[in-house]
Amino acid sequence: SYSPEPDQQRTLPPGWVSLGRADPEEELSLTFALRQQNLERLLELVQTVSDPGSPRYGKYLTLEEVAELVRPSSLTLHTVQKWLLAAGARSCHSVTTQDFLTCWLSVRQAELLLSGAEFHRYVGGPSKTRVLRSPHPYRLPKALAPHVDFVGGLHRFPPISSSLKQRPKPQAVGPVG
Amino acid sequence: LHLGVTPFVIRKRYNLTAQDVGSGTTNNSQACAQFLEQYFHDSDLAKFMRIFGQSFPHQASVARVVGKQGRGHAGIEASLDVEYLMSAGANISTWVYSSSGRHESQEPFLQWLLLLSNQSVLPHVHTISYGDDEDSLSSTYIQRVNTELMKAATRGLTLLFASGDSGAGCWSVSGSHQFRPSFPASSPYVTTVGGTSFQNPFRITNEVVDYISGGGFSNVFPRPSYQEKAVTQFLSSSPHLPPSSYFNASGRAYPDLAALSDGYWVVSNGMPIPWVSGTSASTPVFGGILSLINEHRILSGRPPLGFLNPRLYQQRGAGLFDVTRGCHASCLNEEVQGEGFCSGPGWDPVTGWGTPNFPALLKTLINP
């Protein structure tokens, strides 16, 4: 097995409190980022449609054309779907570009699927935001390394405090008429 | 003379007349996204426009809310985003993206990226108040999100990210201090917006650096070719460079642009609130102004601006007020004493190329 995100910070961000382990039968939703194709070509296209000196400037792609370009290979789609179905995942939704797959599983199934993961519930922030996250790293079967970039919903916490500040009223500088 | 930033102050400073509004006849549109699970209330926007929007034609309600809008407490960030995006980009169809109501195990920003990959029709300009320290994210995640931003750029979407409110940032790496870049602000495929203040807080005068304005150099992304010349020039001419051990001089440098970020009036939960500050304010202001430029482009049969940076750096700040005074915050230690980078002539890693002078910016961006 391998760890897709060994360098992802997993320490509890300030303002969050653990409410303990999640119930094994609880349902949770995980997002699988599937390996895309033709990223070199994508990079070229970004440059040609954004450079005013290029003959292709402003000739943007439609979502369907982007999908055509980056869509994961059928081997990737097949391998990941087979893996998820075998683990009991259900209600899987893809996106037009097919490079993300969001599925529902029980906590128990998810912890079996993503070895090492352990889901806890946390609460934080002024609006008492609640999340399910894993403080421990997850690992995937080696066979999936060519097919999955990362799994969303395990480690990253949402922001809970705005960076906007209400500053004290500035003191008048110089004589204000 | 003024007592805080309002739409009147913004439109006056950036030379927007009452005629500089959407025509209401095009498919032009704009959107703002924040991920604080805050609610936005239409009634706040209506009240805001009643108080501050009398001097220009405007829409007093959003065209679409993506995500659930509960009856919860409105948040200042959600209110401010919409109120100033619709004041600068007045009379232009506006969407609000809200991540409230997502499931506990989902990541709000990732859900927004999935939305981009699943909707054929999207607004041309998106202003996003979100950022994480680069070092807190896995390289796999950062690279994949960067690819998602490239996908948006090929579709002609203009993504404006707030540069952050911690100046250059600061953290300790094996015992010594370094500046702390923020992502997605540091992505080479977005346009990042910093913050300024009025030199005299009660007058509409020239702008200086707002010390909170996020900026610096990525530790993950090398410098893209489009900004090589401008950044090299800054590094070779700035009289105030911090010690080189504090930053990665070969990284993608940001921000690219700036706007006022200090002392805003906002209406939230029915209350007018003064002196609100942050680059979450400057970003929708610049976004609204780019939407107005898109309006003129669409009316003259041209495509929307799309990913702006290559063109912005080619034009070397034409159409922008250059901000050349002030420095942003950083590490509070003997060595740098709280000072990060300082602004200077041309591009700098505090205010980018500067703040919008609408008629001049329109002239430089209307063709081709």
DSSP of B99-160: -TT--TTS-HHHHHHHHHTT-SS--SEEEEE--EEGGGS-HHHHHHHHHHHHHHHHTT-EEE
Rounded Cα distance, B268 and B118, in Å: 31
Give the nearest partner residue to B310 out of A30, A51, A100, using CB atoms: A51
Place of tokens 């490079």: A99
Q: Which among A36, A177, A22, A62 is positioned nearest to B148, based on CA atoms?
A: A36
Beta-strand ranges (E) seen in chain A are 16-21, 27-34, 90-94, 100-106, 120-124, 129-133, 148-152, 165-166
Helix (H) or strand (E) holding A160: none
Inter-chain touch A50–B135, beta carbons under 8 Å = no
Count each helix (H run) and each strand (E run) in chain A, helices first: 4, 8
Which pLDDT score is estimated for B67?
79
Say if residues A18 and A12 touch (Cβ distance below 8 Å): yes
Q: Do B278 and A163 touch (CB under 8 A)?
A: yes
For B236, residues 6+ apart whose C-beta sits below 8 A from its C-beta are none
> Mean pLDDT throughout A133-140?
97
DSSP state of A144: G
CA distance linking residue B213 with residue B330, whole number of Å:
10
pLDDT tens-digit series, residues B210-220: 999 999 999 99
- What is d(CA A31, CA A155) in angstroms, rounded to the nearest whole number? 12
What is the pLDDT at residue B70?
A: 64
pLDDT band at B74 (very low <50, low <70, confident <90, very high): confident
Show the tokens assigned to B264. Answer: 């805003």
The residue among B47, B45, B42, B55 whose CA lies nearest residue B9 is: B55
Q: Fill in the DSSP letter of residue B244.
A: G
Rounded to whole angstroms, the maximal C-alpha distance in chain B is 59
| pLDDT at residue B100, as a whole number | 65
Partner-chain contact B154 A162, CB within 8 Å: no
Helices (H) then strands (E): counts for chain B: 9, 20
pLDDT of res. A73: 98
The CA distance from B339 to B240, in Å, is 9
Q: What is the pLDDT of residues B259-300, one digit of tens each?
A: 999 999 999 999 999 999 999 999 999 999 999 999 999 999
Dig out the tokens for B244 from the structure.
Answer: 């080189």
Q: d(Cα B270, Cα B181) in Å, to the nearest integer?
A: 36
pLDDT digits (tens, 9 = 90+) for B82-96: 999 999 999 999 999
Q: How confident is the model at residue A85 (pLDDT cuts 50, 70, 90)?
A: very high
pLDDT exceeds cutoff 90 at B34 = no
Write the Ramachandran bin of B238: left for phi over 0, alpha for psi from -120 to 50, otherwise beta.
beta
Give the tens place of pLDDT for each residue, B175-198: 999 999 999 999 999 999 999 999
What pLDDT was estimated at residue A160? Answer: 84
Does the pLDDT value for residue A110 go beyond 90? yes
Residues of B in contact with A97 (CB under 8 A): 117-118, 151
B38 inside 8 A of chain A by CB: yes
Residue B87 and residue B7 in contact, taking contact as beta carbons nearer than 8 Å: yes
Which of B283, B272, B258 lies closest to B352 in space, CA to CA?
A: B258
Closest chain B residue to the Cα of A49, Cα to Cα: B154
Mean pLDDT, all residues of chain A: 94
Q: What is the pLDDT of residue B306?
A: 98
Pick the catalytic residue: B20, B44, B79, B81? B81
Nearest of B159, B240, B215 to residue B352 by alpha carbon = B215
- H/E stretch holding A93: strand A90-94
Name which residue leads in pLDDT, B1 or A131. A131
Please answer whether residues B360 and B319 qualify as being in contact, where contact means their C-beta atoms are separated by less than 8 angstroms. Answer: yes
Alpha carbon distance B261, B281 (integer Å) = 5
pLDDT exceeds 60 at position A153? yes
- Segment B126-179, tens digit of pLDDT: 999 999 999 999 999 999 999 999 999 999 999 999 999 999 999 999 999 999
H or E element that contains B193: strand B191-198
Q: CA A50 to CA B294: how far, in whole Å?
A: 15
